[in-house]
Structure 1
Amino acid sequence: MTWAEQGARTAVRCTDCGGTAVRSVGQFLHGGRELRWDAERRCPSCGAASREHAGPEAAPADVREALLTAHGPARLRLAEPLDDPVAALRVLREGVPLTKARELLAELRESGLSGTAVEMAYWQVRLGERGVATEVEEGFGRAYRYVGPPELRELTSGGGPDGRRVRTAGEFAAWAGERTAAEWAEPFTFVVDLAGALRLAPRRSEHVACAGGELVLGAGEVGFRRSGGDGRGAREAREAREAREVETVSNLSTGYCPDVRSWTAVAAALDRVGLPHPGGFTHAVVFRRCPECGRCGIVREEHYVCVFCDADLPGHWNVDEVPLP
């Protein structure tokens, strides 16, 4: 891949007339190797139009969010074993501290980097110039942005995710070894980040804190039970007794309100850790936003009627959708 572009449209308030304007954002590779972004807004009511920016620096968070929620994330994976990690490190450390570049390199070697499709195409080009062969994969599902109370998200400003990132069986075992009997007695808060990794936190943690305010591929609650099993020796028997599997799992997160289709991303994250699971949400929550009053609620027993104003609710997930003029 030597060229790519991606765009999205969102509804915003017009600063001239107060009506609803359309904001179009885009990200593209200029000249096949320079990452750029731009944004413009037009109001169909008053005709006001303005171009916000067109530059080579990294796209701001709201532009990336619009692209990721519209198209989902892409991942950059190694196409063959990395013979020269130093070459890759020299590319990845451009504009970031060496420690961060090393983290990116480790992620590239383990599960791949994640971001917008254009960002991944950019890194593919730059790494290819250093002889590092990679491939870009898409189709990992929708990305969900936080839609809960703003004050809760503000609590995460300036800090990293509270959720422990669990990507391997070893990392899960280390996290599990720190849990108390009281913690195991109830489900845990979880999110699946854009890299497809599971993040776990105590049940009463806010999902937005667990994710550090970032976009997620899935969110909900997960409960575990001991797997059991017979080992041949004392060590194997002890490991079998301590092994865990998923007993209950849901998409219950009023902060992100993920669709039931987020199960695909949740299952992939659990499989990656090696955790047996039921094969679907044991408690699937159907979130909908009312097109009349704008409030978000839960559909119960397939009764698609707003509990706040009795208006009909759509059959498709629409929590983060804003009608465009």
Structure 2
Amino acid sequence: MPRDLRAALLAVHGPARLRLAGPLDDPVAVLRLLRDGGRTPLGSARELLDELREFGLSGTAVEMAWWRVRLGELGVAVEVEEGFGRAYRYVGPPELRERATASGDPGPDGRAVRTAVGRPVRTVVGFASWADGRAAEEFVEPFTFVVDLGGALRLAPRRSEHVACAGGEPVLSAGEIGFRRSGGGGWEVGTVSNLSTGYCPDVVSWPAVAAALDRLGLPHPGGFTQAVVFRRCTGCGQCGIVREGHYVCVFCDADLPERWNVDEVAVDEVAVS
């Protein structure tokens, strides 16, 4: 389906996740299906196969139902789960998204495939490998992060754009995260926020962040240490940050709504389509 419509569906209904419900006896046949059925390069198909094996694939409910049928034809037992909360699509400048995420490989729609610069960290071992590859001075500043639709933490240097970190895809949360050594010599999360002016995630996206960190065995504060409240003004249309509980637009002094409304247009797009 068109990329913008897919992002709107994910924003409104949230992602569904397809997981293996039994052994994968013929990975070569599944790899071929992922390559041909998804019309993706072989390297990308291998990544999808690894993701399916480890945590499952994520996307719209229709996409995951389609994959369940096709995998079922190969005798692969899978199940589809829903209810993973809201997905947030990119709401920043379009030109920034195109500049940050375009690569040379054409996708099924003829457009350039977007490649995420954020390093996906899905396991305890994976995080240790990522951390060991960083210089000590890199940990002075927090890192850019997103939680992708599969629930994995993706990390990039602080000055990276969140949309590039996510490869232009919708996310379950986004912000900045700081790590530090714990008393036992391991790692823990010192600071974490939902500060992302590209995705403007709501503070209620914290459970997705907590789940990603728990998967990595990283102790964390139990909530955003800097909880940023984003709102879009219904008067002038500008998106801004609510400071000190003062729900007034800094651009036109109009009252701001109490509930998150940054991407209300997603509902209209789905209804029209």
TM-score by length of 2: 0.88
**Kept after mapping to 1: 8 A contact 2:101/2:116:** no
Q: 1:133 is matched with which residue: 74, 77, 83?
A: 77
CA distance in 2, matches of 1:67, 1:264: 21
Q: 2:214 aligns to what?
A: 271
Give the aligned length. Answer: 255
- Please give the secondary structure, in 2, of the residue aligned with 1:155: helix
Q: Which amino acid aligns with 2:53?
A: R
Q: Which amino acid aligns with 1:300?
A: R
Greater Rg over alpha carbons, structure = 1
CA distance in 1, matches of 2:119, 2:70: 31
The superposition leaves residues 87-122 of structure 1 with CA deviations (integer Å, 9 ceiling, x where unpaired) of 433432323333333222211110001111011001
**Does 2:26 match 1:84?**
yes
Q: 2:8 aligns to what?
A: 66
* TM-aligned CA distance change 1:154 to 1:96, over 3 Å: closer
Return the structure number with greater relative CO, CA threshold 8 A, min gap 6.
2
Alignment of 1:106-145 (within 5 A): 106-145=50-89
Q: 2:264 aligns to what?
A: 321
* TM-aligned CA distance change 1:63 to 1:185, over 3 Å: same
1:207 Cα deviation (Å)? 1.1
**Kept after mapping to 2: 8 A contact 1:141/1:264:** no
Q: 1:297 is matched with which residue: 233, 237, 240?
A: 240
1:275 Cα deviation (Å)? 1.1
Q: Which amino acid aligns with 1:220?
A: G
1:127 Cα deviation (Å)? 0.9
**Kept after mapping to 2: 8 A contact 1:288/1:314:** yes
**Kept after mapping to 1: 8 A contact 2:194/2:228:** yes
The superposition leaves residues 31-81 of structure 1 with CA deviations (integer Å, 9 ceiling, x where unpaired) of xxxxxxxxxxxxxxxxxxxxxxxxxxxx12112112111111111001122
The superposition leaves residues 172-204 of structure 1 with CA deviations (integer Å, 9 ceiling, x where unpaired) of 111111212221111111111111111111112
Q: 2:143 aligns to what?
A: 188
Q: 1:152 aligns to what?
A: 96
Structure that is richer in strand per residue = 1
* TM-aligned CA distance change 1:206 to 1:98, over 3 Å: closer
Q: Which amino acid aligns with 1:67?
A: L
Q: Which amino acid aligns with 1:170?
A: V
CA distance in 2, matches of 1:207, 1:145: 11
**Kept after mapping to 1: 8 A contact 2:145/2:175:** yes
Q: 2:128 aligns to what?
A: 173
The superposition leaves residues 112-140 of structure 1 with CA deviations (integer Å, 9 ceiling, x where unpaired) of 01111011001111111211111001111
Unaligned stretches of 5+ residues in structure 1: 1-58, 230-240
CA distance in 1, matches of 2:30, 2:164: 32
Q: Which amino acid aligns with 2:50?
A: A
**Kept after mapping to 2: 8 A contact 1:87/1:132:** no
CA distance in 1, matches of 2:251, 2:48: 46
Q: 1:212 aligns to what?
A: 167
**Kept after mapping to 2: 8 A contact 1:304/1:312:** yes
Q: 1:283 aligns to what?
A: 226
* TM-aligned CA distance change 1:98 to 1:201, over 3 Å: closer
Q: Percent identity?
A: 76
Unaligned stretches of 5+ residues in structure 2: 104-114
- Please give the secondary structure, in 2, of the residue aligned with 1:93: helix
Deviating more after overlay: 172-181 vs 253-262 = 172-181
Structure that is richer in helix per residue = 2
TM-score by length of 1: 0.75
**Kept after mapping to 2: 8 A contact 1:186/1:203:** yes
